[in-house]
Structure 1
């Protein structure tokens, strides 16, 4: 039982846990007491909230001094525990940057995965990384800047990069500091996308070389300018007026969230990244956007830009802004798009998110989407439970429950069910009995997780029996029956849906029905075999219940007992050689 009365009305972070004590959600609150009460009070049901709350068996909380401190702690706990119902941007890759070490006497350029606040220049992130390698390759061929990590405190022999004309060899003193720094400045202009400024600087140098009759060097600069013009023409110029910005577009369909982030640096679109979020809990769009921002920038590999553009303002925008500014060590603005260029960018990001989500739908997910639409379900079904009652030769009614989850049958949740209370052969009462025994234990320690809907193998009478149980237990769950001849799905309101076509959703429903029936039949056969074995042994004088159980445990079948010797049987507890001989004589005579 969740106890809420002792919770303080202070800011802090709360952690929801499942029956095994695993943290499944981390949240923050300005008022812990009010926030936690809102999860458990009755009201308009929210499918996302209900799905999570059903699994919550315990919680804990941490009080903080203020809401901003709570936000930082929440982000750190999500990063550490990765709760399944929080927004997690699963991305094992870091974001590559180009770094120019302007704090060194002879700056170098290198690739790094984690920017630092060290006074050097960082350019990126480059997503995909191919664009970064192309930029680095161009710089090495066209700007005199080193890429090595040698200590240049004392002269050394130039390496092969000098011979390939890809480094001016400051290590050997073959270039003066002023000329070298000119190449560094031009590389910085190139990475910042300062086309006009860079080309004008190179043209001035080319003109000066021509005047000094250094025609070969001037020709090299002429060729370099042509290459630069070509590469600048290939770059995606979003706007010459934009600063460094990230544009976050979000598209939601069937409880799945697709996120596309566009990285714009100095007016150039340098890359983008896509994420799919399948299970996250959120209450409002603002709450979702806040969680996405926290997840995106909680890693130290991505420095927040000066502007983040979103389709809506996130929840707790001021606290988020303060948190981002601490990470950036500078001002950060969170806002909706203003200019036409910015509106085009947010529309591009949302459209990219939509396209990415559609492209990631597997045939399995397409089947579930089809099932959701045909059954008029509110949520994407990922867990289905199915019941069947089996009666062979007018005796031994048994029940089965099977569990289908995320594309496969989860046998950990299968249940064989003996009919205990129903007298005689009564399929409807038997169905009611087994449904009651399983449903009342949904989401308990010795039960199974509540499925998205229940499938009953049978007709309208079987369905009505199951619906009575669900109503009696006050469970909010969809229940359908699947009948034969012809194969059809029966809805609670009596509507029927034919399943004899080859649509993927029809095939899936029939497959689940057949598995429930197979599992029930297997149990039925097991019980009949055991009953036949027991009744045969009961006829042998001297073999009571205890000795029958000993034989059953040790040999498992009559045929294996017949294959045993008198001496082997006599070794069992409670048996003598005379009794063993009697058992074998009777079995050989009866069989």
Structure 2
């Protein structure tokens, strides 16, 4: 018997709480929180506007249970406990397959610093967690080089009769044979602990005072050691770019593309970036960045008992800011600040996270297994008997009919095949006649077709008119065996709402469909390649600089850019930070210039 949602909703409370959806076997399908339970649960049974995943969830619902809470914050905490316990199928589930590494400082007269992972059973002090083994070993290597602290186990330490190789290469002060006093060793350890806590500026001040004191006492050898330590610290400060900021915070940057969700997390402690890590949470209900990031951060802290810092910086504004901040603050026992609009060093860290999230997504999307799944999904959708080995996509680009260029991009099972890309400068066609331009480009491409270059699937960026032109050209050249797929932006012209034209019929695909992600990728690449060719041709015809085509870049700014870098080639080679150093160029404008010059 189907779940009687009308009767259930009729008596449902409007208070905040948590709802649990069950299937016919009594398994929890989904756990959610709500400020108003009746309004939120009612939204699942709306007559329209639901995506395919939500509809699939609703069809499996056999029962719903709710728990009233005193506040939305309490609802969030309960929601995370239930998700952790039951791992519902339709919730975003974050998996944590291993513990984080730490640096361990033992409880000993001459404590050792060592790498540890797992449960912290030994007596002593633990520094971390660090995001990766590399971050731990890099820090230990620096500490041994600068402060010469031991890294050997107690059993080895207590049985030494002469210094080991570590002392001979200048990486240990040899406390095992009494070459350093407990007081001096304790001071070196204290300085190392200051470094691990991120108090580099205080540490440098202390070392400078020690260096001055040693110089006054004419102990120049000791003063030189302090000088070298200070230089090492300043060098690592510069490499980590921490001079301009301090504090404890975590940064979360999310990027969703082609059905892949990447959250890049950067850990900052006492103004020092310890490292970063990318996570790949699975999206089960077509969540947007807001919903996905909120769910991720909740589970990241509330389910896995991670250290919660003073501040959490996000790449996207979250709709449940107060609720999430309240839940984290209550769980931590101390106020936690959620930030979205940041400046200075925090902005640079956040931009680093965003770039890494995009790069991780790009690498993931180009994996052979991921591409193979997309091709298989597209073949199945089009009911093609043979595997798709080669695809070509055509697009037209012009400015009010000026400098019309057609692009042809090629994809195979390995991804983009750039060696086979082609551009067609359209001539003899009336300005703005996209149909005529498409016909000319397709005719020039297929009139001398070579069998090993024959595509299995031809994609046309356009509606019925352009698609019919492609079919007409192939028929006129007596070419068979090529499937033609039209890709129209649809009425809303939004990504994910494309209308596909195939064999005289129109189709739409779910936003999460791997087949649609592949179609979008080749369509977007064709569009990018066409615009690049059009801009180059238009600039050549007009004798203009590409800088003139960037909005907001007038003669004065162009002059400053060229004066600063020397020529256009150097401007193109510069990154965003370098462009932002030009007088009169803000960071936002620098980002726009960089994107325009690199067709992003």
- Calculate the TM-score normalised by the size of structure 1: 0.55
Name the structure 2 match of 1:291. 295
| CA shift in 2, pair 1:227/1:489, >3 Å | closer
- Whether 2:254 is the aligned partner of 1:254: answer no
Map of 1:423-434 to 2, 5 A cutoff? none
Provide the C-alpha distance between the structure 1 equivalents of 2:327 and 2:515, rounded to a whole number of angstroms.
Answer: 47
Structure-2 separation of matches of 1:146 and 1:329: 37
SS for the counterpart of 2:353 is: helix
Output aligned runs, 1:57-136, within 5 Å. Answer: 57-100=62-105, 109-113=113-117, 123-136=127-140
The alpha-carbon deviation at position 349 of structure 1 amounts to 1.9
Do 2:44 and 2:50's aligned partners in 1 also have CA atoms closer than 8 Å?
no
1:334 maps to 338
Q: Which residue of 2 aligns with 1:356?
A: 360
Matches within 5 A, 1:410-559: 486=481, 488=483, 495-496=502-503
C-alpha contact 2:364 2:370 (8 A) present in aligned 1: no
Q: RMSD in angstroms over aligned alpha carbons?
A: 4.6
Secondary structure of the 1:273 match is strand
Question: Is residue 42 from structure 1 mapped to residue 42 from structure 2 by the alignment?
Answer: no
Kindly indicate whether the alpha-carbon contact (under 8 Å) linking 2:131 and 2:275 is maintained by their aligned counterparts in 1. yes
* CA shift for structure 1 position 334: 0.4
| CA displacement at 1:130 relative to structure 2 | 0.7
Distance 2:326 2:335 in 1: 9
Q: Which shifted more, 10-19 or 141-150?
A: 141-150
* Separation in structure 2 between the aligned mates of residue 22 and residue 69 of structure 1, nearest angstrom: 24
Q: Structure 2 CA distance, aligned partners of 1:495 and 1:210?
A: 83
Q: Single out whichever of 296-305 and 209-218 deviates more from structure 2.
A: 209-218
Q: How many residues in Structure 1 have an aligned counterpart in Structure 2?
A: 396
What is the correspondence of 1:134-533 to structure 2 with a 5 Å cutoff? Answer: 134-143=138-147, 145=149, 164-165=166-167, 178-233=183-238, 235-281=239-285, 285-300=289-304, 302-361=306-365, 362-366=367-371, 486=481, 488=483, 495-496=502-503
- 2:27 corresponds to 1:27: no
Q: Retained in 1: the 8 A contact 2:266–2:276?
A: yes
Q: Work out whether residues 237 and 267 of structure 1, in 8 Å CA contact, stay in contact via their aligned partners in 2.
A: no
**Contact conserved, 2:148 with 2:172, CA < 8 A, in 1?**
yes
Residue 28 of structure 1 aligns to a residue whose secondary structure is: strand
Distance in 1 between residues matched to 2:66 and 2:153, nearest whole Å: 48
Whether the 8 Å contact between 1:156 and 1:172 is mirrored in structure 2 is no
TM-score with structure 2 setting the length: 0.55
1:81 positional shift: 2.9
CA contact (8 A) 1:251 1:258 kept: yes
Q: Residues 163 and 212 (structure 1 numbering): CA distance in 2 closer, same or farther, change over 3 Å?
A: farther
Distance 1:140 1:134 in 2: 10
Contact 2:302 2:328 survives alignment (8 Å):
no
Shift of 1:182: 2.0
Q: Which has the larger radius of gyration?
A: 1
Contact kept? 1:95, 1:301, Cα under 8 Å: no
Greater shift, 356-365 or 49-58, is seen at 49-58
The alpha-carbon distance between structure 1 residues 39 and 244, as it changes in their structure 2 partners (threshold 3 A), is same
Partner of 2:4: 3
1:382 is displaced (CA, Å) by 11
- 5+ unaligned residues in a row in structure 2: which ranges? 386-412, 414-479, 487-498, 506-513, 519-600
Distance 1:220 1:197 in 2: 18
Q: 1:136 to 1:497 in 2, by over 3 A?
A: farther
